Amino acid sequence: MFKPFHYVEPKTLEEAIQVLSELGTKAKVLAGGTDLLVMMKRKVIYPEYIVCIKNIRELNYIKFDEESGFKIGALSTHSEIADSSIIRSKFDLLATACKKVGTPQIRNMGTIGGNICQAGPSQDTIPSLLALNAKLKLVGSGGERVIPIDRFFIAPFETVLEGKELLTEIQIPTPPLQSGGCYKWITKKSMVDETLVGVAVYIVADSFAEICGEIRIGLSSVAPTPFRARKAEEYLRGKKIDLLLLEQVAKVVSEETKPRSLADYRRKMTGVLLKRAVEESWEKIHRTVR
Amino acid sequence: MEKEKDDRVIGLVVNGRLYEIRIEPRMTLLEVLRDRLELTGTKSSCGVGSCGACTVLIDGKPVSACLTLAITVEGKNILTIEGLVKGTSLNPIQKAFIEHGAIQCGFCTPGMVMSAKALLDRNPRPTVSEIKEALEGNLCRCTGYIKIIDAVLAAAEEMKTAGDR
């Protein structure tokens, strides 16, 4: 059984901010609970207060319009995102990533906000969000701010969230025409197939769908935090994708990684997965053009 | 906003029945079901949401009771394995598990059946691939899964012809 804690359940976002600003670092936020409760069971943390935001409905939504793009409430569960037809049609890499998380049970409980804020090196949703250039809306008693997701992570399990702030929304711009992406991964041998290397790619092609215009590459589990492989992106930007180029960029991306364990294998597989992800993203672009 | 006291009485709706019980916030739904309500069909195994032995349905969706604080599911519809039986009649999924040899030690069975129920409720004609996907969060150390899949297919068939859920 857990050690006792004080339990608070704010009913609205405003109440939650109020409570968190009073409690600060004494409190841990409970959403789906699939990371928090596991850490408590493993005796990694002993929160004094648990602030449960799970039932705040105003934070659970998936909205899209062509002008402002996607706005996903932080309490949207992995299942809701994986099953969302609008996300699958516009950004299936994010749906794929959410479908990969844990087990069906965990996906029904765990939230995308929780996955991001857990900020582990191998979180599944983050590479896709990096590749999609997502922004995060953080709300605190001092107001709100929107930051690009690649500025969110400081160190393993550490983010820029000041104890009194809450992640409320994930914003993703509307996909341009002639664009496509995908998420590729390999797993550790564990009960829930934790990601060993995760590579997400998003490409915006030129108008003839021949040159790689904009490209973004999100990597997980090959460095202390998930990150954008900017050297590899630079290498591919503005170029025509061919096999030789892919072989070369595989080496470039491998050198950008800083894996801890199984380093040689992870470096090599980052290159392999990047090649596959670029090829598949490119195929998707061509399919929509035809 | 008032800070809540530590223990309190909550209303849990389990298998269609309201239970008013005094609990501490730190109790998981699994602990409350097994130790307080004596509904021991739901099993305690890995404790970290990886094995599925503690699967129950909340508002029709499979979740891991070991990672759910009971206090957070007050008022929601909780269905456990005990809730599948109608009087003395087993649910078609339970019958199919028995008939198809899908049970050896039986420990994973309640969780498997609950995940299967959730699947068949939303998809009455699943393919083998869809069954495997739906059950991927339920581990079995005994059977090798083949008979479990057969049982779910058979239950789907039975429920389709009987027009019964």
On whether any CB of chain B is under 8 Å from the CB of A251, the answer is no
B47 to A105: CB separation less than 8 angstroms, yes or no: no
Quote the mean pLDDT of chain B: 94
Give me the residue label for tokens 């305690």. Answer: B44
Q: Please name each of the domains of chain B with its CATH number.
A: 8-83 (3.10.20.30), 85-160 (1.10.150.120)
Element (H, E) at A203: strand A195-205
- Per-domain residue ranges of chain A: 6-52, 57-172, 179-289
CATH classification (class only), A57-172: alpha beta
A41 to B47: CB separation less than 8 angstroms, yes or no: yes
Q: Which tokens go with B53?
A: 């032995």
CB contacts < 8 A, A to B, total 100
Sign of CA dihedral B153, B155, B156, B161: positive
**What's the gap in Å between the CA of A67 and the closest CA on chain B?**
34
Task: Give me the pLDDT at residue A290, please.
Answer: 61
Task: Give me the pLDDT at residue A263, please.
Answer: 95
Q: Are strands A166-172 and B77-79 parallel, antiparallel or unpaired?
A: unpaired
Planar angle of CA B11, B16, B22, nearest 5 degrees: 20
Which residues of A fall within a CB distance of 8 Å from B48? Answer: 38, 41-42
User: Residue A195 CB: number of other CB atoms within 10 A?
Assistant: 25
Helical packing angle, A263-289 and A243-256, nearest 10°: 140
On whether any CB of chain B is under 8 Å from the CB of A30, the answer is yes
In this predicted structure, the answer to whether residue B2 has a pLDDT above a threshold of 60 is no
> pTM for the whole thing?
0.94
Quote the mean pLDDT of chain A: 94
The mean pLDDT of A235-264, rounded to a whole number, is: 95
| Burial per residue of A20-49, b for 16 or more beta-carbon CB atoms within 10 angstroms, e otherwise | bebbeeebbbbbbbbbbbbbbbeeeeebeb
Give me the residue label for tokens 């061919």. Answer: A242
Contact B53, B137 (CB under 8 A): no
Q: Tell me, what's the ipTM?
A: 0.94
| A255-281 per-position pLDDT tens digit | 999 999 999 999 999 999 999 999 999
Which residues of A fall within a CB distance of 8 Å from B51? Answer: 191
pLDDT range class, residue B3, cuts 50, 70, 90: very low
Chain-centre distance of CA B110, in angstroms?
A: 6
Which residues of A fall within a CB distance of 8 Å from B53? Answer: none
Task: Give me the pLDDT at residue A193, please.
Answer: 80
User: Nearest-CA neighbor of A130 among A174, A85, A170?
Assistant: A170
Which residues of B fall within a CB distance of 8 Å from A8? Answer: 1, 3-4
Q: Tell me what percent of the residues of chain A surpass a pLDDT of 70.
A: 99
Give the list of residues 6+ apart from residue B87 with CB closer than 8 angstroms, or none. Answer: none
Task: Give me the pLDDT at residue B5, please.
Answer: 54
User: How is domain A6-52 classified at the architecture level of CATH?
Assistant: 2-Layer Sandwich (3.30)
The mean pLDDT of B29-57, rounded to a whole number, is: 97
φ, ψ for residue A6 (rounded to 5)? -80, 140
Q: What is the CATH number of domain A179-289?
A: 3.30.390.50
Q: Tell me what percent of the residues of chain A surpass a pLDDT of 90.
A: 90
A106/A78 Cα distance (integer angstroms): 8
| A170-205 per-position pLDDT tens digit | 999 999 989 999 999 999 887 678 899 999 999 999
On whether any CB of chain A is under 8 Å from the CB of B24, the answer is yes
